[in-house]
Amino acid sequence: MAATSFKTSTMTFRELMGNGSVYQVPRFQRDYSWTETEWEDLWQDIIALETSVEQGHYMGYLVLQSLQERKLDVIDGQQRLTTLSLIVLTVLKNLSRLKEMSIDPENNEKRIRVLEETYIGFVDPVTLVSQLKLRLNRNNNDYYKQYIATLSDAPKIKHNASEKLMRDCFEWFDAKVQEKFGEAHKGKSLAEFVTLIAESLFFTVIYVTDELNAFKVFETLNARGVRLSTTDLLKNYFFSKVFEESGHEATVDELEKQWDKIVANLGEKSFPDFLRTFWNSRNKLARKKDLFNVIRESVRQSDNKQKRVFELTKNMAEDSSVYAALGNPTDDFWTTKEKREFISELKMYRVTQPYALLLAASRLMDDEDFIKTLRACSIISFRYNVIGKLSPNRQEPIYNDIAIRISSREFRNSNQIINGLRDVYPTDEQFKAAFEEASFPLNTQTKKLVRHILFKIEKFISKEDYDSESNLYSIEHVLPENPGEAWPGFDHDEQSRFACRVGNLTLLKTSDNRRIGNSKYEEKIQAYRDSAFEITKRIPEHYQEWTPEKIASRQEWMAKQAVSIWRLPELS
């Protein structure tokens, strides 16, 4: 990102609202959505300011786009700015009550005027219409302007959901202010409370010049763990282009239905991750940092921008449900046991690189070819990513190329797809060599994977299909993780290196595992002989003692089985 594409500063709420600027939530940005959970968190932060030794409270990033002098679009931060404005308005409401009760009316009228002009705006003396410092989106602004900012009672009309949230927010903070200051409160105390908020809450303000720079800022901050609304940015761009061409709210409403469907389908899934997968399933590979610009250019260069936006949004809506299902083996989209099994494996392997290819295949392949493709992606992911630990960056352009070929109908069946994956399919020799060195220190993430590997090998040699997730069975370390002095055949370094090697791991009933604990190898042998698992019974049959060499020998045998289990005959 060019150093000049944005600038930053640190500003308090007072500096933001008292500098003469107008803050405008883009017309098609999302509606007000904070609920009591967020209100309570903010209130507690504000109350803590009165006793805190810290100088202020950090409110996070605020991303603003310069439109013209003193006029800024709020790209990210509208929920916080709106809520803080509502809090100031509740204080104004309490000052108005004091004035109505003839409590210090002259001074309270001055306080109302100063606070209103500093933080909220002013009422035009001719039209009696509020000229506000904060202007909300198309669904919220009229209600905020006419009824909240004017401190009017709620109209007897049916509110939309966000209007009701704003009214509920106002009433919630109004009750908190009344509770805090009691019936005998003074106007001075209320004004001091606003000053505390305004001077103690501060933001990192990022100024950008256009949507592209805003998107780059989002990607940079998201990479640092700060989640910003890239969803809202793209939505606002799409909707503004449609409105520019049609000028009709009905057209925008139709687009919003499709957008709402996308958001509903994705649920907790990351929109930026979906967007990139969606794009790369149909188009030339776009890197994350270039994605917004690439999509924006596809709209700009279209002869009919409105049609292009609707086409993109419709396709996104269709693909979003499949994308969400790719991470959820229990989703209703997976209608067969085979599909659920392979999706579960990809999730377990923590591999998402094939998603663009699978999105394309799900659109155009019949069930049989899709299942074969899904199986191939699972096997390659195990060979390449899990055991081989090879670079996923090399996979992405290959998956993208195949996805494009599927979308263009150049690839019409699973055989063509699988053949196209040859370059990311480690050979039997490469896979076997990597498996022979595989080691998995057991933790929450790896335990399920290790069970999966052991049960797969067990099924291959015994033909018995056990429930790999049953608590009846557990992973046994032949050489215990903490062996003590009962294992003199291993020095300290060998104990740590070999305890989690795949060759040292096997399956036992959980009750037997607990019983033998960290016993000597000679004492464990009988439990192994009595085990129902073939991979466990083989241990005493082939190894009279347990040493680093025996572990390596057993792991070599397991690697040979793995080559046959995780194998694509078409590529071997």
What are the pLDDT digits (tens) for 255-296? 888 988 998 999 878 888 999 999 999 999 998 778 888 998
Note down the domain range covering 63: 3-208
User: Quick one: pLDDT at residue 411?
Assistant: 96
Residue 231 CB contacts under 8 Å (≥ 6 apart), including other chains: 30, 263, 271, 272
User: Quick one: pLDDT at residue 154?
Assistant: 67
Of 369, 399, 426, which residue sits at a domain end?
Answer: 426
Side chain identity at residue 532, one-letter code: A
Q: 22-66 pLDDT, tens per residue? A: 999 988 788 899 999 999 999 999 999 888 766 789 998 888 888
pLDDT at 157 over 80: no
Asked whether residue 224 is assigned to any structural domain, the reply reads no
Side chain identity at residue 447, one-letter code: K
Could you tell me which of 381, 269, 370 has the C-alpha nearest to residue 316? 269
Could you tell me which of 154, 152, 24, 159 has the C-alpha nearest to residue 92? 152
User: Quick one: pLDDT at residue 1?
Assistant: 39
Measured in residues, the chain has a length of 572
User: Quick one: 411 and 551 in the same domain?
Assistant: no
Q: What is the mean pLDDT of residues 452-462?
A: 97
Lowest mean pLDDT among 183-192, 197-206, 556-565: 183-192
User: Quick one: 501 and 380 in the same domain?
Assistant: no
Cα separation, 196 vs 210, whole angstroms: 34
Q: 118-151 pLDDT, tens per residue? A: 999 976 666 666 689 999 998 899 999 888 998 8
User: pTM higher than 0.85, yes or no?
Assistant: no
pLDDT at 96 over 70: yes
User: Quick one: pLDDT at residue 493?
Assistant: 84
Q: 380-424 pLDDT, tens per residue? A: 999 999 999 999 999 999 999 999 999 999 999 999 999 999 999
Asked whether residue 217 is assigned to any structural domain, the reply reads no
Cα separation, 345 vs 491, whole angstroms: 36
Question: How far from the centroid of its chain's Cα atoms is residue 515's Cα?
Answer: 43
Question: Among all chains, which residue has been given the structure tokens 């439990």?
Answer: 527
User: Quick one: 313 and 351 in the same domain?
Assistant: no
Q: 516-528 pLDDT, tens per residue? A: 988 999 999 999 9
User: Quick one: 65 and 114 in the same domain?
Assistant: yes
pLDDT at 348 over 90: yes
Classify 373 as helix, strand or coil. helix
User: Quick one: 55 and 157 in the same domain?
Assistant: yes
User: Quick one: pLDDT at residue 251?
Assistant: 84
Number of structural domains the chain divides into: 4
Beta partners for residue 408, in sequence order: none
Of 370, 391, 426, which residue sits at a domain end?
Answer: 426
CB of 533 closer than 8 Å to CB of 508: yes
User: Quick one: pLDDT at residue 4?
Assistant: 43
Q: What is the mean pLDDT of residues 450-466?
A: 96
CB of 17 closer than 8 Å to CB of 198: yes
Average pLDDT over the chain, rounded to an integer: 89
Question: How far from the centroid of its chain's Cα atoms is residue 281's Cα?
Answer: 20
pLDDT at 361 over 90: yes
Side chain identity at residue 503, one-letter code: G
User: Quick one: 297 and 399 in the same domain?
Assistant: no
Of 378, 395, 426, which residue sits at a domain end?
Answer: 426
Could you tell me which of 44, 47, 126, 133 has the C-alpha nearest to residue 85? 133
Asked whether residue 347 is assigned to any structural domain, the reply reads yes
Phi, psi of 411 (to 5 degrees): -100, 120
User: Quick one: pLDDT at residue 339?
Assistant: 96
Q: What is the mean pLDDT of residues 305-311?
A: 92
Could you tell me which of 333, 322, 240, 221 has the C-alpha nearest to residue 25? 240
Q: Six-digit token pair at 110? A: 């001055």
Asked whether residue 546 is assigned to any structural domain, the reply reads yes
Q: Are strands 57-68 and 71-76 parallel, antiparallel or unpaired?
A: antiparallel
